[in-house]
Structure 1
């Protein structure tokens, strides 16, 4: 992935956390940072102030990220930071920004959000339509776990998510944990199809493990662990998120509907995971 990381700000606390995350990610991966403020129709907020504050924070966070990578090859120049105030529909404008971006970073809920929602309507809508990976950040990091979690079911969207997760784990020098959750089909009597629940579990484990083997072989420099819980994917990923620095999911998996721009798993993880969540879709 190339280009620059784009982060959207509006002066809210989640947006501030998004800037810190984006600047640190740019420092780790040798990318520049573009900070945008989108004023919708009738907006009354002050973009100049929000952008100036975010730019100063990004420079500091980028320096911290550089210091943390001291001694690692290929990462010497400071993060370049640019800002721009934009006008228009917030979702449409941010989706347009994603076309040339490496990734797009948002706060989980902006100033217009509802306090009862973990992820705001803007972040969910953008995650469902953006061309680039969308990272939704809720709060500043509370320590490091040195672990990236990715949901994987073998689908095309999941493979693209895995590629992003591998890149993130390598840049962070972190472990990669692959969650391949599965459930017994309600409409299929497993006893008739497989003979026993044990056979169902063994078959699911074999298939899930088989999906991971090529990734482990292709990335010998990474520590890749895996689990195949008999559990709803959202529950499994949210649980794994408790000890992760980032959770990566595909925009839609094998169980998604073709008309759904953001699958139920991505939607559920966005709303309930405590750590930053990256929603990744194949680029067409």
Structure 2
């Protein structure tokens, strides 16, 4: 990793948060980067007197201190801490300008579903890659999966994923999913020739997405997967079910540009299969990770 900035991890007292700390610490150790533990006290709704705010700040400081001690002992990595205040998404998003990567836990059980709101907010607001980590056992997993759709954002996701796969000595799987025109045939909106044209266009999108990677990473094995049967979310979830990492862009050619987090990123984070890295849009070239 060429960025000398620390890896930052947002923590609370959940098991998902501890999994994120462990994952981030191992990554920091391999990259020889310092680790920063962050805890956010959301004090936006406190009115005077602020006695409860003081309790939360003290609790947050103790959590940071305890986690830092454990992480230094277990991972042998340089660890510092920072206590932030404000909204979780906004505070971590602002801090992300100082980090090479921001890591957060996937959320916990809440009202019958997965509480992924905070992770989604952080992924939407951050200015650096955001890794969302769950509690899956990663010991027997391998391979880096990345989704593409022909957008410039997706090319940056491929650049990150390829560098990661090459660095880790793992295979890279590039997935492109699209809608088969046959779904529209009953309405008389397409023909067999149109389907062939569509298939050729989408194969070209996939080919262009990996163009030049073999020259940059001659030892990297690249698997190309094209899926006209399922949507991007389903295709990526299936492809990453046994992967060590999934990489997606925060938004691409579909949807509204005013939305900070695209539907594909939202979908895979809501059904997390493995550590998933969301790449923000920025002017980076393929050689940067």
Question: For 1:103, which of 101, 104, 119 is the aligned residue?
Answer: 101
> Any unmatched runs of 5+ in structure 2?
47-52, 284-289
Q: What is the CA–CA distance in structure 1 between the aligned matches of 2:70 and 2:246, rounded to whole Å? A: 24
Q: What is the CA–CA distance in structure 2 between the aligned matches of 1:140 and 1:49, rounded to whole Å? A: 27
Once the 2 structures are TM-superposed, how far is the Cα of residue 270 of structure 1 from its aligned partner? 0.5
What corresponds to 1:71 in structure 2?
none
Contact 2:155 2:209 (C-alpha < 8 Å) held by counterparts: no
**264-273 or 207-216, which deviates more:** 207-216
RMSD over aligned Cα atoms: 2.2
What corresponds to 2:155 in structure 1?
159
TM-score, normalised by the number of residues in structure 1: 0.85
SS in 2 for 1:177: strand
What corresponds to 1:23 in structure 2?
25
Question: For 2:92, which of 83, 91, 94 is the aligned residue?
Answer: 94
The alpha-carbon distance between structure 1 residues 156 and 196, as it changes in their structure 2 partners (threshold 3 A), is: closer
Matches within 5 A, 1:44-193: 44-45=55-56, 46-63=59-76, 79-109=77-107, 114-184=110-180, 189-191=189-191
Give 1 or 2 for the bigger CA radius of gyration: 2
- Stretches (4+) displaced over 6 A: none
| Residues matched between the structures, number | 265
What corresponds to 1:244 in structure 2?
243
Q: What is the CA–CA distance in structure 1 between the aligned matches of 2:252 and 2:172, rounded to whole Å? A: 19
Residues 186-232 of structure 1: CA deviation (Å, up to 9, x unaligned): 679331xx615355334422331232132233221322211011120
Residues 101-130 of structure 1: CA deviation (Å, up to 9, x unaligned): 1011011116xx725333521111111111
> Any unmatched runs of 5+ in structure 1?
64-78
Contact 2:146 2:157 (C-alpha < 8 Å) held by counterparts: yes
